[in-house]
Structure 1
């Protein structure tokens, strides 16, 4: 007997249901077995260490700074001659060197004497001594004595130079150099103020002008007035507004202090006077390496610091690498700068992943 179409559909449906009932539990069991296998595999298999490649950076180590210029006593210039001022031949802000005209008294020109050794007596032919040597330097610098060798003897050549000086400056030509021909300004002098005008009568030792107080020390500090951290190289560049000056270190004296003070005073930036004007403070300065150095860069987590302060990193093979020249990056927290030779080397990004005991070699 032939089955009807509806009967065949019923049989097929029954078979599908039976297969489904068998497959679902079996699939769940297989899936659970697979998942448990993965969990077990994860429990016994550790991830490999994370590695980073040392980067590269050129660093000028720029830091904000405050500059304190310590000033000495202002130099006061007095007259070595008596008479009436007929001309003033210099002005505030002028730098006076040997032979620069300062003023005229009774139409005789008085020139700047920019040396430390004084002319304390009239000098004439036949005289000898260190003051004669100083006179020769003055006459040479003033353009009246053409010599290559300076000695301490007032000879014929010096006599001719003195007479030429006297004639050119309106003095009596007698070959005797009088100390009153000059105004003693010292070896470094910038005019701060002129105290006389034409028509004034001056007596011997009357004040005729004053100089700017000389810089005796310059200190470069951080904005909180603490010493700056050491730089990795020299020289340094100090910048204030549009003015830049080269400095050797952050504490300067002598000629170096004078050069920096002169540059800063011409920067067009107002300074704050402290200690009754004995210190001039310039804010908003910046100091950096004149020749920025190349460095490698790594995160701080890649650097191990031992109990003795030694710094090390660990490469991909577990080798400990001493970081002799390393330091923290200026203005970039969390970054360490290492020697440029390490650029491109792969290191552990976290030294905590180093093999046990390996960091004992960091000394």
Structure 2
């Protein structure tokens, strides 16, 4: 019995000690809280705060929507007819001069890169610009060593004969058939899609592959009311900038279009800003320095003992205001509403 009573007494003492500790901790927390300045109010100046005026250029910004416009990629077509017996290409491949585009009726058709297509069959004695293009083509393949003089003579005939032999047509001799090549334009083509399959029937004009679609413009959707003219502007999208004419609704410079379209990713759409460039000079002051009295006039004070200085507010943000430079200020009182008694723009300050 005595042992149980002692145990109960010890538990009571421990509980009382715990309560005492909790009360002391709470009291300490209250003292710390009320003896430490609030971080919100600790930085507030207790007196006048005079700051320098900075200068800069006024920049107007307008949020806009942007969307890339595209055209279809290069279409590589044939001048041959028959059945596709082999298709060596896949998306992602690159077609260059001499690449086999497709095999039709077991005869390979080769990529031909030039600024203009070949439009007729050619043989010894032919003359013309198309002969010169054929000579350049054969020279790039390493089959011809002469000049591109536009005359189909012995050296050109030997090169054509070698070309025909390499591509399974030795019986054609020195005759060049236009159906043996597929014009891909002036430069290599990155294959985006393959338009035929083995077993397909093709005819002159059939498209075998297409290159990737190409961006041609960036459409700009201006805000309601548009963007005022009279200033120079640039469109800024994902850190890329290009000159923009308000009201035009687009930019078309090829380099700028390609760069911005690439930054928009697969959707081809996004947001940007139209910003003014080379704007007028402005003075920048804290927004809190501006006093607007009941008459609608705006002013600032250079110090607590100075008269108000009328200003024209051109714009700004929640943090700063942009003023017309005619005010010729070098400093302003940043907290007039806190340290002056009912400041107005037509009276002397009362500190």
Normalization by structure 1: what TM-score? 0.50
1:238-249 matches, within 5 Å, as 238-239=237-238, 247=242, 249=244
Cα distance in 1 for partners of 2:225, 2:154 equals: 59
Cα distance in 2 for partners of 1:82, 1:176 equals: 18
1:263-342 matches, within 5 Å, as 263-264=262-263, 267=265, 269=266, 271=267, 281-283=268-270, 285-286=271-272, 298-299=284-285, 334-336=320-322
Where does residue 176 of structure 1 map in the other structure? 175
User: For the structure 1 residues 262 and 124, does the alpha-carbon distance in structure 2 shift closer, same or farther, using more than 3 Å as the test?
Assistant: farther
Q: Which has the larger radius of gyration?
A: 1
Normalization by structure 2: what TM-score? 0.51
Bigger shift: 83-92 or 180-189?
A: 180-189
Cα distance in 1 for partners of 2:109, 2:225 equals: 45
Cα distance in 2 for partners of 1:60, 1:167 equals: 68
User: For the structure 1 residues 210 and 347, does the alpha-carbon distance in structure 2 shift closer, same or farther, using more than 3 Å as the test?
Assistant: same
> In the alignment, is the contact (CA less than 8 A) between 1:66 and 1:225 conserved in 2?
no
Where does residue 67 of structure 1 map in the other structure? 66
> 5+ residue gaps in structure 2?
1-48, 276-280, 291-301, 304-313, 335-343, 346-351
> 5+ residue gaps in structure 1?
1-49, 272-280, 290-294, 304-314, 317-326, 340-344, 354-363
Cα distance in 2 for partners of 1:152, 1:262 equals: 42
Task: Give a deviation string over 1:118-163, Cα, whole Å, max 9, x none.
Answer: 211113344333323433454455565578x755444555545444
1:1-363 matches, within 5 Å, as 52-55=51-54, 65-72=64-71, 76-94=75-93, 96-139=95-138, 152-154=150-152, 158-172=156-170, 174-187=173-186, 190-221=190-221, 238-239=237-238, 247=242, 249=244, 251-253=250-252, 255-256=254-255, 259-260=258-259, 263-264=262-263, 267=265, 269=266, 271=267, 281-283=268-270, 285-286=271-272, 298-299=284-285, 334-336=320-322, 346=330
> In the alignment, is the contact (CA less than 8 A) between 2:66 and 2:272 conserved in 1?
no
Cα distance in 2 for partners of 1:150, 1:349 equals: 80
Cα distance in 1 for partners of 2:82, 2:202 equals: 6
> In the alignment, is the contact (CA less than 8 A) between 2:242 and 2:256 conserved in 1?
no
> In the alignment, is the contact (CA less than 8 A) between 2:56 and 2:283 conserved in 1?
yes
Cα distance in 1 for partners of 2:194, 2:60 equals: 44
User: For the structure 1 residues 72 and 119, does the alpha-carbon distance in structure 2 shift closer, same or farther, using more than 3 Å as the test?
Assistant: same
User: For the structure 1 residues 337 and 237, does the alpha-carbon distance in structure 2 shift closer, same or farther, using more than 3 Å as the test?
Assistant: farther
Matched residues, number: 265
> In the alignment, is the contact (CA less than 8 A) between 2:87 and 2:197 conserved in 1?
yes
Task: Give a deviation string over 1:218-242, Cα, whole Å, max 9, x none.
Answer: 23455779669999788x7643xxx
Deviation at 1:102, TM superposition (A): 1.7
> In the alignment, is the contact (CA less than 8 A) between 1:300 and 1:335 conserved in 2?
yes
Deviation at 1:107, TM superposition (A): 3.6
Deviation at 1:288, TM superposition (A): 8.9
Pairwise CA RMSD:
5.7
Deviation at 1:298, TM superposition (A): 0.8
